[in-house]
A and B are shown apart, each in its own frame.
Chain A
Amino acid sequence: MTTVQEQQTIQNVFQDRMDQDELLNCMRCGFCLPSCPTYITSGYKESHSPRGRIALMKAVVDGLIEPDEDFEQSLNQCLGCRACEPVCPSGVNYGHLLEEARDIINQNKKHSLPVRTVRKAVFEGLFPHQNRMRTMTGLLGFYQRSGLQKVARSTGVMKLFPESLATMERVLPKVPTMKEMKNRPEFLPAVAPKTNRVAFFTGCLMDTMFLETNNATMKLLQLAGCEIVIPQNQNCCGALHGHSGEKDGSKALAKKNIKAFEDLNVDYIITNAGGCGAFLVDYDHLLKDDPEWKDRAKDFKDKIKDITQILYEVDFHKKVKLELPYQIVTYQDSCHLRNVMKTSAAPRALLQAIERIDYTEMKDADRCCGSAGIYNIVESEMSMQILDYKMEQTKATHASTVVTANPGCLLQMKLGIEREGLSEKMRAVHIVDLLMEAVQE
């Protein structure tokens, strides 16, 4: 609950900080409506659409409404998928407005003690520290390997958790050991005629829970003729902070990353998680009011490229033979990869280049799967409705392999498969892992 006093403060800060030109830039034409998953899933509630949310933010600035519970609810239920941005002819930067609004609300609202403790632990204690991420993942590994997992499952302890969280526990990948996570080289040479010198952004979750995918990414880059620099002092990208109203935290991480990648003399900085990449390309906006960092952020941003994009650009799929046993493969876009990084043709072209498989496009592949960072945990009900729709479309393709390009989407699709009881017939994989599987050396 926000108190009346907090609402007053939030309103004042809204007037102070919200970009009024950007708010006015929305001419309320409604072109965004059909693209919004929460508008559709909520049964066409304008308050759950981008146009509605912008109108609400503007109304708070104008003093027409107070930032009450309903208002917060409307913003909380936004996935932040940004599907409304590419379809907006006026070019409204909705994502920026949303992040600013969430930051204002969060910074000016007193959370309950348990929420405060968890937020502090996650946003300050865990994600900014890669060693702690490793420890945390290590604990998960211990849980999975020690037999604790079996005990937890057989005693039904998991039933105490919300349904999506309990299922999530089942679909988490087998995590690597501490030793595997720590042994990361700082440089890898190209193993084909050199095309580029790149740096690899490992990501916090990707370099722990999805270490195998990171290894595969580097292998593919080497095969594509890239020599790779992997700076040790890089960090979590800060997306989780940014999307959750912890802007200061994300700025601090952004600066560390810019510094870590600054003097490497590379052509590109490669990411393999759409969510991270999209946040990285927004660093210049994040630091726009910081004269010391603004230009450095721009230089950083200009180098960001998704793994699928660079593979496509260097004709990896034409140079390396890719083949898999016959299977129907479909692709679920990562919203941020598609809508923010504008990468949607490359992953499809790579998949279509794999011999013997049948690539089938699913209906509304560009619609969010409902993962959206921690959305599937905090807004579980809406998330599961969105996932149900996604699974319907997935099933309609008769695919046995669902490909994604972001860890959040990957977990969500695994969750969807588990919920549908399809784990025998269908698997979800990161595109990099599938490509690695298909490489015929």
Chain B
Amino acid sequence: MITEEIKKRMIAIIGPENFDDSKVGRLCYSYDATPDLQALPDAVVSPRNTEEVSELVKICNENKIPIVPRGTGTNLCGGTCPTEGGIVFLFKHMNQILELDLDNLTMTVQPGVITLDVIKKAEANGLFYPPDPGSMKSSTIGGNISENSGGLRGLKYGVTRDYVMGLEIVMANGDIIRTGGKLAKDVAGYDLTRLYVGAEGTLGIITEAILKLVPIPETKKTILALYEDLEAAARTVSKIIANKIIPATLEFLDQPTIAAVEDYVKIGLPTEAKAVLLIEQDGSPEQVEKDMAKIADICRSEQAVSVQMAKTVEEAEALTTARRTALSAIARIKPTTILEDATVPRSEIAKMVKAINEIAEKYNLPICTFGHSGDGNLHPTVPTDARNKEEMERVEQAFEEIFIKAIELGGTITGEHGVGVVKAPYLELKLGKAGIAAMMAIKNGLDPNNIMNPGKVFAKDSRKRVVVGQ
């Protein structure tokens, strides 16, 4: 509960225009992109700088008020849904690119900067910021860091974690710390930077970040390979990697996904193919040429019915843009769209695709599968209707089985979307009891009052969950 006195104290720090506890204001921060999940916060605050964040956090800590840091709420795990009420922190005032350091190839940013603006700023200076989550046009860098977002270029370039060199963090007690720096080497103590990337706001609030930039690749080529057989497409993926080629992008889309995407983009995607691989390679012209020729050969040897290279940059761009809309486009099929991101070692991708389809059949569910197959990260998606309780139950069971299968194959329950609320019941599948205990120890040490995004990552005992022995 926010008492009048607490409200007054907060307004004294940030001004009345940056404190909102109206019904409409709260409702608008009661959700994120996670289906069927909504909870009202008690208030919404928009601090203007790190000091204000710190002052607000101190008040919350004193009064044990939950804090939910939120970017633009595009995450898919319920990470920013205020399930335990409390105060949503917005970063709309803290949205500046503070510095582009061309000597050290870094960019220093505030958490509210839009991901695409980081990418554009880098590119305008001949540099490259590779993490490119599907929502990059609207997501913030603060959200990306907290969720350790991936994207289409993860296979070759890694994920957000690989591009964060240093952070400024407001701790749960209001202390302000700085981790890392513009340093290629730094072993001074624990690597707190890595700990906070992907911590989903449960350990503190990120108020500034130093990002690593790399030189922009000289050239890029894109091919589209069509298949009559899902598993043949999946086998191609493993075979490309086994041939020691790491493409920049290696995306898999099955037929229902392609149909939904084409319905939106209308660029003439092959809706009749059972599966499609979207493959991109970048680098020096000679290397790209060589790799692409080899990749095309591999596709054909795995019975691709057609292998076509994008003729222009625009055509290539249209293809990757289309791919980024996949999830939202699938949402046009049915009112509710449930997606997961179970991930397996890339050698196991064909087995995983096969298992997903068998599970879909077993539970009589239509599943659209797409994803970053090159890094083993698949997005099986079920178009359904939250109002149909019986079907929702089957969806739940099917995903549970998919998670178990992924773990069996040496994989994980989530590759890039985060645990949040929705995957918390399954975390033990991956970590085991001891793993959970270790993480809990960190959480309790850094946030003893459990005010930082409570109810996320760790499942409450009352929740339904699957327990398997180690």
Contact = CB atoms under 8 A, between A and B. Distances in A.
Interface of A: 21, 24-25, 27-31, 33-34, 43-47, 52, 55-56, 59, 64-66, 68, 70-71, 73-74, 88-91
Contact of B23 (A31, A46, A66): A66
B360 to A, nearest CB: 20
A170 B270 CA distance: 55
6 contacts: A29-B331, A44-B92, A64-B27, A64-B30, A65-B24, A90-B329
Contacts of A89: 261, 264, 325, 327-329, 331-332
A70 B24 contact: yes
B83 interface: no
Contact of B331 (A25, A33, A45, A68): A25
A91 B135 CA distance: 16
Contacts of A45: 28
A66 to B, nearest CB: 7
B11 to A, nearest CB: 18
B327 A29 contact: yes
A46 B325 contact: no
Nearest to A91: B332
A31 B332 contact: no
Given A30-B33, A64-B38, A90-B328, 19 more contacts: A24-B386, A27-B328, A27-B331, A29-B33, A34-B114, A44-B90, A46-B28, A55-B28, A56-B24, A64-B30, A65-B23, A65-B24, A65-B27, A68-B24, A70-B22, A71-B23, A89-B332, A90-B332, A91-B332
Contacts of B335: 21, 24-25
Contacts of B95: 44
B33 A24 contact: no
B386 A28 contact: no
Given A43-B92, A89-B264, A90-B332, A56 B137 contact: no
Contacts of B32: 28
A360 B138 CA distance: 28
Contacts of A34: 114, 137-138
Contacts of A25: 331-332, 335
Contacts of B264: 89, 91
A130 to B, nearest CB: 39
B137 A24 contact: no
B238 interface: no
Contacts of B114: 34
A398 to B, nearest CB: 22
B135 A70 contact: no
A31 B328 contact: yes
Interface of B: 22-25, 27-33, 35, 38, 40, 72-74, 90, 92, 95, 114, 135, 137-139, 261, 263-264, 325, 327-329, 331-332, 335-337, 385-386
Given A25-B335, A30-B135, A31-B137, A55 B328 contact: no
Nearest to B92: A44
A33 B140 CA distance: 12
Q: Name the residue in B25, B27, B40, B264 with the highest tally of chain A Cβ atoms < 10 Å from its Cβ.
A: B27
A90 B331 contact: yes
A27 B92 CA distance: 22
Contacts of B139: 30
Contact of B27 (A27, A56, A88): A56
Contact of B72 (A30, A43, A68, A70): A30
Contacts of B263: 91
Nearest to B32: A28
Contact of B31 (A28, A65, A66): A28
Nearest to B29: A46
Nearest to B263: A91
B328 to A, nearest CB: 3
A238 B31 CA distance: 36
A59 B264 CA distance: 27
Contacts of B261: 89
A344 to B, nearest CB: 15
A29 B72 CA distance: 10
Nearest to B17: A43
Nearest to A62: B38
A33 B138 contact: yes
Contacts of B40: 64
A47 B28 contact: yes
A339 to B, nearest CB: 15
Contacts of A66: 23
Nearest to A43: B92
Contacts of B25: 47, 70
Contacts of B72: 30, 33
B24 A74 contact: yes
A57 to B, nearest CB: 11
Contact of A27 (B90, B337, B385): B337
A45 B18 CA distance: 11
A45 B27 CA distance: 12
B28 A27 contact: no
Q: Name the residue in A24, A29, A68 with the highest tally of chain B Cβ atoms < 10 Å from its Cβ.
A: A29
Contact of A31 (B30, B138, B336): B138
A44 B90 CA distance: 10
A44 B140 CA distance: 12
A408 B287 CA distance: 54
Q: Name the residue in A44, A47, A89, A90 with the highest tally of chain B Cβ atoms < 10 Å from its Cβ.
A: A89
A11 B385 CA distance: 24
Given A43-B92, A89-B325, A30 B24 contact: no
A322 B98 CA distance: 49
Given A24-B335, A55-B31, A29 B24 contact: no
A52 B385 CA distance: 21
Nearest to A64: B27
A21 B385 CA distance: 10
B135 A29 contact: yes
A367 to B, nearest CB: 15
A30 B74 contact: yes
Given A34-B138, A70-B23, A29 B28 contact: no
Contacts of A44: 90, 92, 95
List the 10 closest pairs (A to B, CB-CB), nearest first.
A89-B328, A24-B335, A70-B24, A46-B28, A90-B331, A89-B325, A27-B331, A89-B329, A44-B92, A30-B74
A68 B386 CA distance: 28
Contacts of B327: 27, 29, 89
A27 B35 contact: yes
A55 B335 CA distance: 14
Contacts of A73: 24
A46 B114 CA distance: 15
Nearest to A70: B24
Contact of A55 (B27, B74, B331): B27
A64 B336 CA distance: 19
A29 B328 contact: yes
A70 B26 CA distance: 11
B331 A30 contact: no
Nearest to A21: B335
Contacts of A55: 27-28, 30-31
Contacts of B385: 24
Contacts of A90: 328-329, 331-332
Contacts of A71: 23-24
B73 to A, nearest CB: 6
B332 to A, nearest CB: 5
Nearest to B26: A65
A88 B328 contact: yes
Nearest to B23: A65
Nearest to A59: B27
Contacts of B33: 27-30
